[in-house]
Every structure is written in structure tokens, then in C-alpha cells.
Amino acid sequence: MKRVIALGMALCLALGTASCGSGNPTGDANNDASPANSPVISTEEFDTGDITPPSSPNRYSMASGSVGGNFYLVGGGISQIINSGLPDFFNFTTETTGGGTANLGMIQRGDAELGIAMTSSIQEAVDGSADWTNGQVHDKLRVAAALYPSWLTIYTLKDSDINSFSDLEGKIVGLGSKGAAMDSVFRKMFEDLGITPAQIHNDGHSATATALGNGVIDAAILFSYPPFSAISELESTKDLKFIPLNEEEQEYLTTTYDFYVADAMPGGFYKGAPEDVAGVSEWNMLVTSSDVPEEEIYLITKLLFESTDDLRIIHDSLQYCTAEDTLNSNTYLHAGTVRCLEEYGVDVPEELIPPEYQG
């Protein structure tokens, strides 16, 4: 069958300006939604092979994020691709949620079959280590596919005397929503490196950018896929500069947290960052549950990996939704994903193969 996906909903979602972490106590930092490039996606026929569809399509939920945020835009677009490409198998509804940590809880409870989260939140969930987990080990979580990376972004006003991470000593620093993974990570980093900010400011990332522009805070930290629209909007009225990490600071994050890798935010997305800015990055993943049958996730991941052009119409960051990039997972892959990757000739490390995989 020919798949034609109307992106009217995605276009409406893209008009919002709030990030997934904005105004949300447990949301993760992500860049704001940007408008799709086209109202229609046209793709070629998708072959389901000898897999028999159910008697009626499964009515499933996609746990995404707050309206206007990238999680909600991406979740809605992926739901449309699945519904159109596999209409005999699925009817996905996109759910508005509090962000990545809320999504992981929904998946663990069986309230959603797919959801989006950052690797930092996934680690907290599978360990049951963060306050938001209430000590519960989220043992059903499985990664279905990689979505896109997010880069550490530390920014301040150009005339600020902050030029390095250590210069945050005695400053008011915005760390996004209280209780989110990044908030915990950087509070610990400040403590371990002997840096004492005057105050930690917790708010959504769009509100935090506004606070910086108004002089309420001195610097802001987030993970995002650039350009983050709130930063771009701030640069229309204020000159900014972006603060790199040195090698010791990169090493601290990558050795303390295995979901971070030494990296650099690509230059050229902001006026204040014409060159790459050294830091770390982590991944945003499409997450599912071990309770979802292998054949179903196999079909979904194969469809997504064969829909790169469609995904990039939803958001350019989804160019990273590939079989190879899915190996950036920091927890078990779903059995259906392993099956798909092996079919693609991708060598899956033993530590990513779930105990239920029988391939």
C-alpha cells in the first residue's frame, strides 16, 4: 500500500514555543519544536513479510511530552508514520505528558507502549536511583530505536565575566526543572568539583532563557539539539556566549555517568557559537516495554529505519534515527529491535541483548 501521511497535526504542534522541560517538574531538556518543512509525507510501500496482522489494529499510546515541545512533535510524527505505514497493525494515539520521566513510568506500568526519554532518565529508571522513581526499578524498559542526540549547552550574556565552568562559582545558575536528571547531575558535579553557585534556579528551559535575558540569573545549562528556539529568540535582543568544558570536566561527566560521551555542540547554530563548543552529549531514545510482542517492535523499528526522509520532514534531528545509532542505548534493546538490527547486519553487543530474546 502507498503511505501518505498528513502532517497537519505535527504542523500545529510545531507552532508551540515551550520545550518539553518547560513548566514541568520532571521533564527532560530538549530543544523546542520547529516547523515541519512540508504538510505531506509520501513514502514507498512497506513490506510486512509473512507477519499476520491482528483481527483489528492494536490501539496503542505514544507517551511524548508537553504541547509545543520537541518530544510531542516527534512523538506525534512517529505515531503518524506507524499508523499510515502499518494500518492493519496499529492505531497509535499521542499522549501529552510531563516529559521523559513521566513517559518511562507510563511504559513500566503498561499505560503506554512507546515513549521518548533521554538516556540519563533511562539510567535513573532502570537503577531506581532517582527520587522520582520512588526506588522502583523499571525492569520492563527496552529501547526500540535511537532518535537524536542532545548536546550540553552552557550559555550566558556576552558581557558576563563567566568564561569557564569554574567561573560559575558564586553565580546564579539555571538548571532546568527541579528533580530532572540534569538537575541532579550538575548539582553533584558542582559539589564534587568544589564549585559553589550562589543559587540554583529551577524552571523550564524556555523560562530560564527569559530569566537570563532579564538578569535574574547569570548562566543557564541544558541539553538540546540546536538551535533551541528560546536561545535563538534571546539572541535576537541579547549578545550571548557559550561556555566550553575543559578535558578534566568532560572526563568527570563521562566517567561518572556512562550515558554521557565527550563531544562538542556543533557550531554555526547560534551567533555566539560560530565554532564547536566542547562538552558532552547524550541520546534521546524511543522506549518501549518488554511486554510488547517482538514482532510488533520489529515491524515498527524496520519501518522507522526505512523512513529517514519522512522522519526528517517531521524534524531534522531524526536523521539520527538509524539502526547503527540505536547501539548508543544504555539499557537492553527490545527483542524486536535486536531482530531488526541483526537482519540489517548490525552486530549487537551482548550487553544490549535482553534476556527474553530467543533469536
Q: Model-level pTM?
A: 0.82
Do 84 and 42 form a contact (C-beta atoms < 8 A)?
no
Cell numbers 539572541 label which residue? Answer: 235
Residue 34: the pLDDT is 39
Write out residues in the chain with pLDDT < 70, as ranges: 1-45, 68
Cell numbers 516529559 label which residue? Answer: 99
Quote the CA–CA distance of 43 and 22 in Å, as a whole number.
Answer: 34
How many angstroms separate the first and last alpha carbons of the chain? 29
Beta strand pairing status for 114-118 and 90-95? Answer: unpaired
Residue 176: the pLDDT is 87
Cell numbers 538548571 label which residue? Answer: 175
Q: Which residues of 184-209 are buried (b: 16+ CB within 10 A; e: fewer)?
A: bbbeebbeeeebebeeebbbbbbbbb
Q: Which residues of 100-127 are buried (b: 16+ CB within 10 A; e: fewer)?
A: bbbbbbbbbeebbbbbbbbbbbbbbbbe
Name the maximum alpha-carbon separation found in the chain: 65
Handedness of CA 260, 261, 262, 264 (dihedral sign): negative
